[in-house]
């Protein structure tokens, strides 16, 4: 994609890209990063003269994306999908792109060890952290972590790569960089710190002490619905770009939000000028988004998929699903939150409005992926609150039951479900080793990395999920949601 070839009414970089300085290395050049953090940087460069540029890195997978970006002079497009029409802008803040397997991990490490690098940011999804969602700690027996323990100078995991890059900076007398997670985890900065320090302590105690003293791990809350790119999406993008193909292009909803803990050891862009919120404590915002948005998304994804609804906006055509999602947000998630001064009813209604966007086509199957990584922060933390306060969690129980039904790999019509999860083999073993019904629930709840030790021992929790599951088996997802709503 050459910028001067674009004839369509598309926003293109008006800044001098040659004056950008590569100050941020980003691990995980996926759809969300392209549609979110990079857009903020592009706005800053366009409207405020920022010179902060990116080195984009994919460690595992995504080789073709990096090739596509290089072939397009490091340019790609972001299209906003609104029901009333689409609009596009070309993003120009990427200055370099690397794929670990083809460019070599040493090239990646050297890029991260450049003196001007101030931030390493991450979007690798929850499973990329090699951590236990139930505890927020490093899985030391994870194959990638085991490799990095044995081969610290040739890492494969994101944590190992960051630890080794920091080792190079320490040994060369360079300032440390800030490590900023932009993934959907509560206290994602603390999780990142736990994982990196956990690995560093195994490898080199002195290095771990240096990292603890010199590196900051700010937490962030990110929000923008970015459906998986489909051939239809790319065709629409080509039309918007006046016939120019953009295989690295991405499409998303118009809404975007970014809340960032203002804790950086080596400088940062002025993100607030592009609409980000810089705060002292991100956690209340993270919990609000994870529980109300992501929690309702997962609820709709599992129950919607089981009911035959392919997209979230299809679920929004079913009044019972709308009522149930709103009830979940306001009656079961909102009471668990610590946010101050936020109109949560208005927030819930704004989420439902976004879900209704017919242009998005956000697949329930996509949201249902990686449930073992998502359930703890989206639903289980709230369940623990309700158990402690003796309050109701009927929607949450049905959502968890729907996940158990979903990972059983057979839908209500007897068709196979393509379950995608990092713990897929464990899930298969638990499903295959338990008869359908009460024993199936018991088997899945025994997954300690997801449910911890206390929840599977709590009679009220087990009973609520079991009852919801048996009702799903008997009546199906649509009727189960309808019955749930009647009880409100």
Element at 53 (helix H, strand E): strand 52-58
Tell me what pLDDT residue 450 has. Answer: 96
Q: Provide the pLDDT for residue 80.
A: 95
d(CA 444, CA 150): 33
In angstroms, the first-to-last Cα distance of the chain is: 54
Mean predicted confidence (pLDDT) in 324-345: 96
pLDDT of 323 = 98
Q: Please, what is the angle between helix 319-327 and helix 295-307, to 10°?
A: 150
Res. 482: pLDDT tops 80: yes
- Average pLDDT rounded to a whole number, residues 408-431: 96
Instruction: Answer yes or no: is pLDDT of 84 > 60.
Output: yes
Count the residues in the chain. Answer: 488
Q: pLDDT band for 6, please (50, 70, 90 cuts).
A: low
Indicate whether 198 pLDDT > 90: yes
Give SS3 for 394.
helix
Distance in angstroms (rounded) separating the CA atoms of residues 170 and 16: 33
Indicate the average pLDDT of the chain: 96
In order, the DSSP letters of 72-100 are TTT-EEEEEEETTEEEEEEE--EEEEEEH
> Mean per-residue pLDDT for 101-113?
98
pLDDT in tens, 133-156: 888 899 999 999 999 999 999 999
Tens of pLDDT along 216-228?
999 999 999 999 9
Helix (H, G, I), strand (E, B) or coil at 440: helix
Structure confidence at residue 8 as a pLDDT band (50, 70, 90): low
**All structural domains of the chain:** 3-279 (3.40.50.720), 283-486 (1.10.1040.10)
What pLDDT is stored for residue 297 in this prediction? 98
Q: Taking residues 323-338, what's their average pLDDT?
A: 97
Average pLDDT score over residue span 317-323 = 98
Q: What is the pLDDT of residues 10-64, one digit of tens each?
A: 889 999 999 999 999 999 999 999 999 999 999 999 999 999 999 999 999 999 9
Query: Residue 7 pLDDT more than 60?
Result: no
Cα–Cα distance list, 223 to 99, 303, 369, 373, 441 (Å): 26, 23, 18, 18, 32
For residues 469 and 454, give the distance between their C-alpha atoms in angstroms, rounded to a whole number: 20
Instruction: Give the mean model confidence (pLDDT) for residues 82-98.
Output: 94
Show the beta-strand stretches assigned E in 100-159. Answer: 119-122, 131-132, 137-138
User: Would you say the pTM of this structure is higher than 0.75?
Assistant: yes
425, containing H or E segment: helix 424-432
**Which pLDDT score, from 0 to 100, does residue 10 have?**
87
> Is 90 exceeded by the pLDDT of residue 1?
no
Helix (H) or strand (E) holding 27: strand 21-27
**Cβ 115 vs Cβ 100: under 8 Å:** no
């Amino acid at each position: 994609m050459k910028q001067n070839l674009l004839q369509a009414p598309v926003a293109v970089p008006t800044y001098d890209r040659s004056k950008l300085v590569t100050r941020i290395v980003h691990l995980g050049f996926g759809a969300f990063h392209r549609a979110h953090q990079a857009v903020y940087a592009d706005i800053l460069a366009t409207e405020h003269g920022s010179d902060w540029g990116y080195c984009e890195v994919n460690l595992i997978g995504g080789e073709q994306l990096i090739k596509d970006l290089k072939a397009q002079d490091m340019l790609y497009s972001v299209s906003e999908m609104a029901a009333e029409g689409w609009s596009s802008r070309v993003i120009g803040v990427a200055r370099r792109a690397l794929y670990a397997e083809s460019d070599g991990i040493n090239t990646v490490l050297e890029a991260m060890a450049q003196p001007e690098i101030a931030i390493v940011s991450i979007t690798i999804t929850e499973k990329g952290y090699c951590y236990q969602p139930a505890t927020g700690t490093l899985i030391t027996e994870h194959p990638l972590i085991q490799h990095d323990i044995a081969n610290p100078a040739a890492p494969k995991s994101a944590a190992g790569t960051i630890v080794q890059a920091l080792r190079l900076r320490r040994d060369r007398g360079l300032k440390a960089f800030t490590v900023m997670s932009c993934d959907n985890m509560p206290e994602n900065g603390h999780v990142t710190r736990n994982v990196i320090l956990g690995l560093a302590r195994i490898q080199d105690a002195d290095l771990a002490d240096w990292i603890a003293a010199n590196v900051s791990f700010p937490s962030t809350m990110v929000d923008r619905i970015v459906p998986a790119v489909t051939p239809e999406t790319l065709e629409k993008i080509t039309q918007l770009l006046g016939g120019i193909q953009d295989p690295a292009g991405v499409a998303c909803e118009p809404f975007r939000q970014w809340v960032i803990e203002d804790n950086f050891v080596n400088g940062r862009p002025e993100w607030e000028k592009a609409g980000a919120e810089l705060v002292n404590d991100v956690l209340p915002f993270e919990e609000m988004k994870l529980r109300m948005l992501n929690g309702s998304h997962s609820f709709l994804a599992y129950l919607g998929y089981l009911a035959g609804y392919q997209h979230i906006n299809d679920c929004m055509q079913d009044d019972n699903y709308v009522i149930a999602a709103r009830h979940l947000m306001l009656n079961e998630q909102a009471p668990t939150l610590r946010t101050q001064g936020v109109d949560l009813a208005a927030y819930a209604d704004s989420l439902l409005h976004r879900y209704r966007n017919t242009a998005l086509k956000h697949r329930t199957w996509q949201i249902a992926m990686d449930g073992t990584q998502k359930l703890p922060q989206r639903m289980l933390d709230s369940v623990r609150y309700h158990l402690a306060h003796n309050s109701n969690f009927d929607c949450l129980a049905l959502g968890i039951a729907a996940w158990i039904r979903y990972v059983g790999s057979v839908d209500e019509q007897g068709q196979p479900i393509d379950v995608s999860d990092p713990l897929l083999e464990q899930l298969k073993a638990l499903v295959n080793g338990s008869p359908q019904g009460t024993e199936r629930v018991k088997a899945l709840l025994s997954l300690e990395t997801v449910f911890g030790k206390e929840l599977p021992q709590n009679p009220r929790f087990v009973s609520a999920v079991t009852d919801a599951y048996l009702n799903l088996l008997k009546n199906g997802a649509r009727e189960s949601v309808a019955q749930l709503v009647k009880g409100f």
